């Protein structure tokens, strides 16, 4: 489906602003997403997931997934 870039600032811990590169692909189960999360140019993690939503909502759902992973430090290091 596409590649997207974004930024997310944690509301807990060190409250850093992380950059992420997000890839979203159509699959038989919906849309899979994978992100590369970095802080100050250093890779901090690669969270991924699957969302079962309509095409119009896929990017928003994938962004919500990566931002949740950053906030909760799931597959991401602070």
Q: Indicate if the pLDDT at residue 11 is higher than 90.
A: yes
| Element holding 35 (H helix, E strand) | strand 30-39
* CA atoms of 38 and 58, how far apart (whole Å): 22
The 10 Å Cβ neighbour count of residue 19 is 16
Per-residue pLDDT tens over the stretch 23-51? 999 999 899 999 999 999 999 999 999 99
Distance between the two ends of the chain, CA-based, in angstroms?
29
pLDDT at 29: 86
pTM of the full predicted structure? Answer: 0.92
Q: For the chain, what are the domain ranges?
A: 2-72
Beta-bridge mates of residue 8: 18
Q: Which residue has the tokens 């906030």?
A: 71
């Amino acid at each position: 489906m596409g590649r997207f870039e974004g930024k997310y600032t944690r509301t807990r811990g060190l409250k850093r602003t992380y950059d992420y590169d997000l890839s979203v692909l159509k699959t038989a189960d919906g849309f899979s997403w994978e992100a590369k999360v970095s802080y100050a140019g250093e890779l901090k993690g690669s969270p991924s997931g699957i969302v079962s939503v309509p095409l119009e909502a896929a990017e928003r759902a994938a962004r919500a997934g990566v931002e949740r992973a950053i906030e909760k430090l799931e597959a991401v290091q602070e």
